[in-house]
Structure 1
């Protein structure tokens, strides 16, 4: 069985922040590592999202060309993934003749089949900037929930808009109120695809909040989606080169380009709730229209927002702690453990230094405990049956909780915070057992050897969560020289 795992392509308009890391990227890596540890075939992929309008928007502030912005931050993003131990089998860059041809073909096929239609529609236009306003160029309030939004989709309620219906619109570049002008664009009506979407929603494993978004959209007439805009950024459509393909329509083909080289049995997609409508509605609609059932996910793993001082981490607003700056200070083990422990799986969580300090103390305690285990003489063979009754009970608890930790890294019961909590509990059990073994004195050789087997099993179960530290701990189990630390910096 091959499990294909995807993580949402990030926009190269800034460095990856801790909120990004706590979302799809680490979580997908954990699942891929856990499947590999079980001897299963996993393919983990992502891409970059160069054609988002957030890239030229960032270039305005940096006084450079959008292409320079995309290249600079792409290098930073890829380097940060590597430093955090996030290993992808494939990263798709949305560039080059072959990629653009794929996107153009997708668009043309949907036009020829009648799923995409050209229409003249109103769109906000900034006269001062001579700029059509959509996506990152447009600000205002969501017509559905009233929250602050950009064009095309709302991050708060996860529902799309038509730009012309954004309330109190303004130009992001200059702040002026735009005028509405009619212009030719392309739309993808979703209502004709309702039956296929409802069948897909019923079959897909997804969080209740995302299912509620689907239900809310289905309760109304499913909307028309703008899939091209008059713009100078993005991939031109063959139908009209002055119109650029909507980047989220493009991404449906971007995911197809990430596919594993072998047939996959299931597709699991990781993304933030702000991208929920695209993954649960738009991409499935495109793949249903194109007759590509192999691109319909079996499971969505969705995170809510990781906040900083009560507000969402944001690259465009520069409200963030940059992972590239944090990793050299904290190390990959600590960043991974904290981001997974505080992962906002079902509700928003907040990054605080107090919480981070508590996570650091968890790793410190692990190091102290495991170093204590290896300091005990263990020349006798490990005989768990000969342990005192309370230590035998501890052994059963260790095995049960490590089994849960492994389960929480697998697709069926995926819960990284739960996995971290089980690991932390096991480390405490080993620490308590260590105190008892120390009290045994010279008669505790066999018991000390048993503790080492528990430490080995801990390291194996923890490997998807903290691969670097787990590898060092396993090496120590195999007789390698003791490092300065098993987990964190100071190795």
Structure 2
């Protein structure tokens, strides 16, 4: 199948202050992986990228807690993060580290381009400062009550309401290292004013928000209602991060949320073998590629406002075509928390046997429109659910029928075709960038399994083949291991996982070793 579209997919870089827990994995990483797999099956050219986030202040506070050098912390958690992604079958085309000269150079280059264009401003600002620690307080170094919603929040952005905050406006602000009350101290910083781009952001909102999830659309509208859009502070006083490449700004680093935008471009460059024309082909203003970005709601302001405004200000890059955000995923109705040891880590819970089924459960309970919950008991219920029994029925009965048939018709009966076409419409919608939904796809699969298990009992061998082929195609993005094993039995002529419900030839591999491999993938009760 000829490629129809080029799609660039990004997932928020995970901070190397810990492994990925199921809350992380249920959001941008699983979502982006399922989307990528589905789009590739449809014949589209997709590039899926991310990186680790090693310059975060949260990395430094973790290193202090563990009394270890930051690089040791990064190394250890990078290994665990990669293991979690691998066990969850989340496959990226390029996953890089920001601790390279090339990454630093690209971030500094974009910073200087904006600075010399007059898009960044030097200003003296009042900031929070801890006299005990002799440290300027930002992000992970300060905690207080959000001035917008009143919830506990770190500096810069509230993870509850998503709104930006100035730590000076927080109630009961404290240094997270020593718990001291901060003082106000003036310091020079570099800001990126957002207000000059209000009209462009308004236009962008009007043209795109119909595709966004309701909470994100409401949040963006709330920001546009600010009398003055707050500036983005793009430099911080710190000894950890990418140095500001300007004389007089020694001891300051570039904000990691500014860094992530050119960081994505650098990850693209690594994948492209340093061919800048290929980076431009994916990121440039004249690019034919669509940019689809997955992130948690607490990161909304960075992707939707700050990065969008930076891209507008620079002028040489395309804007995102789709934002796909998720809400918080809870564990036993409480937030995942490393400090309280209330978490289930991907590298410890995922394994080769349960990976597909855990992916399916995370999709069924995905926090798309509101917070949702994970519990081990509920996951075990999924493993013993009717859906798994229906799945086994379809494969057992269907494979038995097609193995006994010498010649399979290329098309099913009109009734089965009509049924398959209706489900195909559902899956195409749920796997699309404008209406993407893990839950929608997973729930549609449950419905397909229930109905398919009934239909296949009284179907012809050709109908059984079509049902198996439909199960393979619809499920493969969600459950890639068992989907691929089924594909090896009811395969297309080119052997690839293509979105082709009715191939010209109904090809079947009558290999009982493949059937045994397929059957071994089901949960053991």
* Same-fold status (TM-score > 0.5): yes
CA pair 52-184 structure 1, distance change in 2 beyond 3 A: same
What pairs with 1:300-319 in structure 2 (closer than 5 Å)?
300-315=323-338, 318-319=341-342
Contact 1:83 1:332 in 2 (8 A): yes
Q: Which residue of 2 aligns with 1:453?
A: 466
Tell me, in whole angstroms, the C-alpha distance in 2 between the residues paired with 1:379 and 1:358: 36
SS of structure 2 residue aligned to 1:483: helix
Tell me, in whole angstroms, the C-alpha distance in 2 between the residues paired with 1:77 and 1:125: 33
Larger CA deviation: 320-329 vs 37-46: 320-329
Q: Deviations over 1:277-335 (max 9, x none)?
A: 101100011111111342x1011111111111222324465432111111127622012
2:98 paired with 1:76 = no
Q: Which residue of 2 aligns with 1:286?
A: 310
SS of structure 2 residue aligned to 1:301: strand
Q: Which runs of 5 or more structure 1 residues have no equivalent in the other structure?
A: 438-446
> What's the CA shift for 1:153?
0.6
SS of structure 2 residue aligned to 1:414: coil
Q: Pick from 478, 481, 487: which aligns with 1:465? A: 478
Contact 1:333 1:488 in 2 (8 A): no
Contact 1:229 1:243 in 2 (8 A): yes
Q: Which residue of 2 aligns with 1:172?
A: 176
> What's the CA shift for 1:340?
1.2
CA pair 189-466 structure 1, distance change in 2 beyond 3 A: same
2:278 paired with 1:254 = no
Q: Which residue of 2 aligns with 1:430?
A: 452
SS of structure 2 residue aligned to 1:235: coil
What pairs with 1:36-55 in structure 2 (closer than 5 Å)?
36-55=40-59
Contact 2:410 2:462 in 1 (8 A): no
> What's the CA shift for 1:383?
5.7
Q: Which residue of 2 aligns with 1:215?
A: 221
Tell me, in whole angstroms, the C-alpha distance in 2 between the residues paired with 1:470 and 1:486: 13
Q: Pick from 303, 309, 324: which aligns with 2:347? A: 324
SS of structure 1 residue aligned to 2:481: helix
CA pair 488-23 structure 1, distance change in 2 beyond 3 A: farther
> What's the CA shift for 1:364?
4.6
Tell me, in whole angstroms, the C-alpha distance in 1 between the residues paired with 2:12 and 2:33: 13
Q: Deviations over 1:190-210 (max 9, x none)?
A: 111212222222233322322
Tell me, in whole angstroms, the C-alpha distance in 1 between the residues paired with 2:469 and 2:34: 19
Q: Which residue of 2 aligns with 1:483?
A: 516
Tell me, in whole angstroms, the C-alpha distance in 2 between the residues paired with 1:123 and 1:157: 22
CA pair 187-162 structure 1, distance change in 2 beyond 3 A: farther
CA pair 428-137 structure 1, distance change in 2 beyond 3 A: same
CA pair 427-59 structure 1, distance change in 2 beyond 3 A: same
Larger CA deviation: 308-317 vs 14-23: 308-317
Q: Which residue of 2 aligns with 1:133?
A: 137
Tell me, in whole angstroms, the C-alpha distance in 2 between the residues paired with 1:330 and 1:167: 48
| Matched residue count | 476
What pairs with 1:147-158 in structure 2 (closer than 5 Å)?
147-158=151-162
Q: Pick from 385, 399, 417: which aligns with 1:374? A: 399
Structure 1 vs Structure 2 CA RMSD:
2.2
Tell me, in whole angstroms, the C-alpha distance in 2 between the residues paired with 1:174 and 1:279: 32
2:24 paired with 1:24 = no
Q: Which residue of 2 aligns with 1:443?
A: none
2:431 paired with 1:409 = yes
TM-score (norm 2): 0.85
> What's the CA shift for 1:137?
0.9
Q: Which residue of 2 aligns with 1:142?
A: 146
Tell me, in whole angstroms, the C-alpha distance in 1 between the residues paired with 2:382 and 2:424: 19
Q: Deviations over 1:111-138 (max 9, x none)?
A: 2223222222222222222222110111
Contact 1:85 1:332 in 2 (8 A): yes
CA pair 64-479 structure 1, distance change in 2 beyond 3 A: same
Tell me, in whole angstroms, the C-alpha distance in 2 between the residues paired with 1:77 and 1:88: 13
Q: Which residue of 1 aligns with 2:275?
A: none
Q: Which runs of 5 or more structure 2 residues have no equivalent in the other structure?
A: 273-277, 283-287, 491-508
Q: Which residue of 2 aligns with 1:232?
A: 239
Q: Which residue of 2 aligns with 1:441?
A: none
Larger CA deviation: 112-121 vs 371-380: 371-380
CA pair 312-329 structure 1, distance change in 2 beyond 3 A: farther
Contact 1:380 1:449 in 2 (8 A): no
Q: Which residue of 2 aligns with 1:340?
A: 363
CA pair 201-162 structure 1, distance change in 2 beyond 3 A: same
Contact 2:412 2:463 in 1 (8 A): no
Tell me, in whole angstroms, the C-alpha distance in 2 between the residues paired with 1:126 and 1:309: 36
CA pair 458-385 structure 1, distance change in 2 beyond 3 A: closer
Tell me, in whole angstroms, the C-alpha distance in 1 between the residues paired with 2:466 and 2:92: 31
Contact 1:122 1:182 in 2 (8 A): yes
Tell me, in whole angstroms, the C-alpha distance in 1 between the residues paired with 2:220 and 2:96: 28
Larger CA deviation: 160-169 vs 355-364: 355-364
> What's the CA shift for 1:489?
5.9
CA pair 317-114 structure 1, distance change in 2 beyond 3 A: farther
Contact 1:340 1:420 in 2 (8 A): yes
